[in-house]
Chains A and B, each alone.
Chain A
Amino acid sequence: MIEIRDLKKTYTIKGSKEKVNALRGIDITVNDREMVAIQGRSGAGKSTLLNIIGLIESYDDGEYMLNGIDVSTLSDGKAAKLRNQRIGFVLQDYSLLEKYNVKTNVMLPLLFDKLSSREIDEKVNRALEAVNIDDLSHRKVAHLSGGQKQRVAIARAIVNDPSFILADEPTGALDTKTSGEIMELFRSLNDEGKTIIIITHDPIVADQCKRKIEISDGRIVSPEQVEK
């Protein structure tokens, strides 16, 4: 469960003293097994929010509890461990290691955990099967299509069986048909019990989520969070 209260984040632009208020007091609660879309225009602060939820960035003020843990108290190492075990990321640019094969990319999160080679292989195979790309395991990522790459990214996100999957514009670089397939994959993962938070500016994608939150200028502008 994610509980965020009055979250604020300010950036200082590198090379100048100018400050940007990315988040100006966000309140969100995301329950387990939810599938939430966070919408907003470019610069609204939705990626910053996702980064904070994903323990990639720190925040300046407010409160953020992840499964009852106050994340402001976490060291870099503990945050990394939590990110490794509880959170999976799927990004628009896939963020894959292009020169390596699918299997190597999918196993990445497991390499930062204490697992045997056998356990790693088992988990990787399970994740590849879950996203229907087990036949591509030895293909180089650079040789895959956009849709296949995104499936690899999803396999990597779920390989460690995390509770949360955070997706930043996961269909942004894909055609309509492939987007539909990827969203179908997210829905089935949600049905299996994963909490999914998707950042998107695509209303079709947002419509496929159970709940939508709209952000503008660092604030939530749709406080009536509509349960679908």
Chain B
Amino acid sequence: MKKIIMLINNLSGNVISSLILVVILTYSLISVENMIGSYRYITFSEYILSNESLADSDYFMLDPVSLNMDEQYNHGSGKLINKISSFKGVKGVADSSKTAAYFRSSVVNLDFYNRYMTEAFNNILSEGRWFTHSKNSTDCIEAVVCGAIFNDLPVGSKIELAFPNVKETLKVEVVGKVGYPWYAPDYFSISDEVSSGDFLVEANFVMLDDNESNRKMLPENVEPRSLGLSFFVLYDNDCTSAQRNAVRDLYESVGSYKSYDEILKNTHDKIQKDLITGLVTPIFMLAVSTILLISIAVMTVYKKLREHTIYYLCGCSRRQSFLYLVFGVSIPVFISVIINTIYVAVKINNLASGVTGYEGVIFDYNNIWFGILYCIVTVTVAMILPYIVFRSNTPVEIYRRNHND
């Protein structure tokens, strides 16, 4: 304890500048971590979308004013999907129908995926398998689960889902899981700049195969519906330009579309734009922190030279003396890293327990590595100048200057 106090004493005289450093560095590290979280998300979503099934596809976005609400939510979109599916050259429409259920007293999304949906997003599966698409012969439906609430369930588990105001439950067997960060596909975005990041949402999901027998297993009054506002349309391998153009003409009559290549281009543009705009502040702050740390290191060494000469007289070696200085100078950096780690730990804990949700970021302990690496490099760099000062003003030199006759 006494030694630690002595080490901390190495910072005395630079307390205010060290506090400023702690604030700036902590803010910069948190900004960088959030930036890394966003970058990881967009590259993760790009990976999810980099799927052969989607390579020849269009993302269709319905213009909300082209149909009335009744048409949109009840029959319109279904009709539209059927119409698109009937076009020559169209392999299918990747779409899901939605309803809600309860698991462990929490609301979960119950999504019925058609086979094109599972094809289009098969990259999201981290454990187990997708559905066999065979007719269900038991009272248990195959399900793929995603979300914090299902994290403790191994593949093979059987669970029961409840429904609001209905006594009957739905038994499902977990055949596959979507791992952390628990993002599952969802079509929300209607935009000219739609990118891969717009197709995922973080929530608790139970995904089921959309077939007649599975739907029959649902209690009465529970009817999954497709929002059908937007979806991917997959083309056959031998789809001709004329066939594709015919479908695209239809899109344009009721909405708009983006080809898969355009979505990838938008994704790359977004990554670049986010990096440029998102990194400016943290990089500036990190540069300020580095300069401040170097200044503190130099000031500390100059201020403490005489003190360290006394330590030397009392039996402290030069190496030990320099290490004490390094430790003293590193204290603000340590404090920032500790605050930062606590922030990350609390955030991860809140995300994992579902206390807070998150969109557009991937946040785990991997995000702090950059910060730690930065701190190690910065402290090393910051100690080069003081090391030179320390070398040329050794305790012997100082002592001789003060005491030799």
**B307, A97: Cβ atoms under 8 Å?**
yes
Across the interface, which residues of A come within 8 angstroms of B309, CB to CB?
95
Q: Give A28-66 as 1s and 0s: 1 = Cβ < 8 Å from B's Cβ atoms.
A: 000000000000101111111001001011000000000
Tell whether, in the assembled complex, residue B315 and residue A56 are in contact, meaning their CB atoms are under 8 Å apart: no
What chain A residues lie within 8 Å of B310 (beta carbons)?
95-97, 108
User: Which stretch of B228-236, B348-356, B382-390, B394-402 is in the interface?
Assistant: B394-402
**Contact indicator B2/A111 (Cβ below 8 Å):** yes
A214 within 8 A of B: no
| Residue B319 interfacial (CB < 8 Å) | yes
Kindly supply a per-residue 1/0 record for chain B positions 310-343, scoring 1 wherever the CB is within 8 Å of any chain A CB and 0 otherwise.
1111111111100000000000000000000000
- List residues of chain B with CB within 8 A of the CB of A56: 312-313, 395-396, 399
Q: B315–A85 contact, CB under 8 A?
A: yes
Q: Contact at B405–A47, with CB atoms within 8 Å?
A: yes
Q: Is the CB of A108 within 8 A of B314?
A: yes
Q: Does B403 contact A (CB under 8 A)?
A: yes
Binds B, one of A73-81, A132-140, A185-193, A202-210: A73-81
CB distance from B396 to the nearest CB of A (A): 6
Instruction: Pick from B2, B12, B319, B399: contact of A77, CB below 8 A.
Output: B319
Check if A93 is an interface residue, CB within 8 A of chain B: yes
Given A89-B313, A95-B309, A112-B316, also A107-B405 (CB < 8 A)? no
Compute how far the CA of A79 lies from the CA of B9 in the bound complex, rounded to whole angstroms: 25
Which A residues lie within 8 Å of B404 (CB)?
47-48, 51
Listed residue (B307, B310, B404) with the most chain A CB atoms within 10 angstroms of its CB: B404
Task: Give every chain B residue within 8 A of A93 (Cβ-Cβ).
Answer: 402-403
**B1 to chain A: closest residue by CB:** A117
Interface size bracket, A side: 35 or more
For residue A160, which residue of chain B has the nearest CB? B315
Q: Which residues of A contact B402 (CB under 8 A)?
A: 93
Q: Does chain A have a CB within 8 A of B135?
A: no
The smallest C-beta distance from A104 to any residue of chain B, in angstroms, reads 8
| Chain A contact residues, CB within 8 Å of chain B | 40, 42-48, 51, 54, 56-57, 76-77, 79-81, 83-85, 89, 91-93, 95-97, 99-100, 107-109, 111-113, 117, 120, 156, 160, 168
- 13 CB contacts below 8 A, A to B, read A40-B405, A51-B396, A51-B399, A57-B400, A77-B317, A79-B317, A80-B317, A81-B317, A84-B314, A100-B9, A109-B315, A112-B315, A113-B315
Measuring CB to CB, which residues of chain B are less than 8 angstroms from any residue of chain A?
1-3, 6, 9, 12, 307, 309-320, 395-396, 399-400, 402-405
